[in-house]
Amino acid sequence: MAMSSSSSSCITTALTRLVHLTPSSTPSNPKPFLSTQRPFFTFFTLKSSSSSLTSSSSSVKSSITTMSYNKQLAAAKKAASLAARLCQNVQKGLLQSDVQSKSDKSPVTVADYGSQVLVSFVLQKELPDQAFSLVAEEDSGDLRKEESQETLHRITKLVNDTIANDGSYKVSPLSEGDVLTIIDSGMSEGGPNGQHWVLDPIDGTKGFLRGDQYAIALGLLDEGKVVLGVLACPNLPLESIASGNKNALGRAAAGCLFSAQLSCGTYMESLDGSPPVKVHVSNTENPEEASFFESYEAAHSSHSLSGSIAKVKLGVKAPPVRIDSQAKYGALSRGDGAIYLRFPNKGYREKIWDHAAGYIVVAEAGGVASDAGGKPLDFSKGRYLDLDTGIIVTNQKLMPALLKAVQDSLKEEVLPSL
Ligand SMILES: Nc1ncnc2c1ncn2[C@@H]1O[C@H](COP(=O)(O)O)[C@@H](O)[C@H]1OP(=O)(O)O
Ligand SMILES: [Mg+2]
Ligand SMILES: [Mg+2]
Ligand SMILES: [Mg+2]
């Protein structure tokens, strides 16, 4: 899987654009989040508009001719690594009171909230001169309720302890009010203009609760395209989890950090600091040799449909590797398997934070992700992905056969409805 080691420098895509910075207070342009006497961050949403480039006292015009994302990538790695530390500590001693149920009945833990706070905090500390817009999964609504006071207190302590133990940031401890405001810094709507961070603070919360796989998934959109992504996977073994290597998931040393930047490739390092190595997706052209990944949770993706596509249509021999979260994209990017199939129930709307980071991690490793109709994933439409039926991921050589198998199977199968 590893191809070579490399420094993090790379020549990146040149973008030319005019931007218009507008401070305001709509949900996609949140106000500065700290109302205390510690004004260390300011929010601006970066708006790009060819029709609004008139001079105005409240706008700042800037021309960006060459764009490198090295600084943002370094900040994203730092943010995801620190959040992973908080998640690992919580997972070690998870208490029942740490888990709540959201209005859609999905679980959320103190670690989901804590991770979101840390990522937002670190990005803004590391990139103080840059506009900040964040599309993230969690919001503070439930935490503002009377019965959540204890939970909020615990999140605040976890975040402050993690920042203090890390020692990189000399700030006074965040208050509970700060924590609520920072969580809500993730309410941006994203979209096709400007830059937006995209965060799933814990992807695979059910895996996290089981003690299995989960990921801190952070991507950056620029003009609607994913230009960098980082996946911190604290429980993913450093060695391959291909279906022939069953022991890896139980025993091997774990903790992987995947990072990718447009036109620069994908790298993997250990969360405790080994040098990055370049990774590449599997080169197999023979579907019989390919193994495939799917969700651990059958409610998230039809196992029967993936099974019939892989085994019956493509002749895949190995049993599926079922793991939670975007760790699947990370494992695919280093060639542990060659195919990832995802077919949620009809009516389920995929969110951009569930795929943005994984998408570029696989794409920069030589893979390709599309919807079940073969269309590239479009991250420019706001908080949701508009998809035809499901998501399929593989290498370039297998994609035509996989797409045909998917479409043939979909014609035969009636998907389960909600
Ligand atoms: N009913 C559902 N169908 C599909 N995906 C879901 C569903 N409920 C939650 N998810 C999301 O699926 C992802 C986990 O995917 P996987 O099945 O690949 O492990 C997570 O992003 C999870 O959200 P969350 O981030 O809240 O854990
Ligand atoms: Mg969730
Ligand atoms: Mg998720
Ligand atoms: Mg999540």
SS (H, E, C) the chain: CEEEECCCCCCCCCCCEEEEEECCCCCCCCCCCCCCCCCCCCCCEEECCHHHCCCCCCCEEEEECCCCCHHHHHHHHHHHHHHHHHHHHHHHCCCHHHEEECCCCCEEEHHHHHHHHHHHHHHHHHCCCCCCCEEECCCCCHHHCHHHHHHHHHHHHHHHHHHHHHCCCCCCCCCHHHHHHHHHHHECCCCCCCEEEEEEEEECHHHHHHCCCCEEEEEEEECCEEEEEEEEEEEEECCCCCCCCCHHHHHCCEEEEEEEECCCEEEEEECCCCCCEEECCCCCCCHHHCCEEECCCCCCCCHHHHHHHHHHHCCCCCCCEECCCCHHHHHHHCCCCCEEEECCCECCCCEHHHCHHHHHHHHCCCEEEEECCCCECCCCCCCECCCCCCEEEEECCCHHHHHHHHHHHHHHCCCCEC
ipTM reported for the complex, 2 dp: 0.94
Which of 22, 45, 181, 205 is catalytic? The answer is 205
Residue 192 in this model has a pLDDT that exceeds 80: yes
Closest ligand 1 atom to 348 CA: 3
Cβ neighbors of 246 (< 8 A, separation 6 or more) are: none
| Rounded average pLDDT over 107-118 | 94
pLDDT at 251: 66
Is residue 184 marked as binding?
no
| Rounded average pLDDT over 378-383 | 98
In testing the pocket of ligand 1, which one of 210, 354, 387, 418 has its CB within 8 Å of the most ligand atoms?
354
Residue 22 in this model has a pLDDT that exceeds 50: no
Please name the residue whose Cα sits nearest to atom 19 of ligand 1: 324
pLDDT tens digits for range 272-326: 989 999 999 999 999 999 999 999 999 999 999 999 999 999 999 999 999 999 9
Closest ligand 1 atom to 206 CA: 27
Residue 380 in this model has a pLDDT that exceeds 50: yes
Is residue 183 marked as binding?
no
Kindly report the number of other CB atoms within 10 A of residue 71's CB atom. Answer: 12
Query: Crossing angle, helix 176-183 and helix 110-126, to 10 degrees?
Result: 80
Is residue 371 marked as binding?
no
Is residue 200 marked as binding?
yes
pLDDT at 184: 98
Residue 118 in this model has a pLDDT that exceeds 80: yes
Is residue 202 marked as binding?
yes
Residues 224, 380 contacting (CB under 8 angstroms): yes
| Rounded average pLDDT over 199-210 | 96
CA atoms within 13 A on the CB side of 80: 35
Q: How far is Cα 110 from Cα 90, in angstroms, rounded to an integer?
A: 8
pLDDT tens digits for range 45-87: 222 333 322 233 333 333 333 479 999 999 999 999 999 999 9
Confidence at 35, pLDDT banded by 50, 70, 90: very low
Q: Which residues line ligand 1 (CB under 6 A)?
A: 106, 137, 200, 203-205, 207, 295-297, 299-301, 324-325, 344, 348, 354
Residue 209 CA: which ligand is closest?
Answer: 1
Q: Tell me the CA–centroid distance for residue 74 and ligand 3, in Å.
A: 23
Does the model's pTM come out above 0.90?
Answer: no
| Rounded average pLDDT over 188-213 | 96
Residue 174 in this model has a pLDDT that exceeds 70: yes
Nearest to 90 by CA among 125, 126, 117: 117
Residue 214 in this model has a pLDDT that exceeds 50: yes
CA atoms within 13 A on the CB side of 208: 33
Please list all protein residues whose beta carbon sits less than 5 angstroms from ligand 2, which is an ion: 106, 205
Please name the residue whose Cα sits nearest to atom 2 of ligand 1: 300
In which region does residue 167 sit, left (phi positive, over 0), alpha (psi from -120 to 50) or beta (all else)? Answer: left
Which of 12, 22, 109, 112 is catalytic? The answer is 112
Q: Please indicate whether residue 205 is annotated as part of the active site.
A: yes
Closest ligand 1 atom to 297 CA: 17
| Rounded average pLDDT over 27-48 | 32
Q: Tell me the CA–centroid distance for residue 80 and ligand 2, in Å.
A: 17
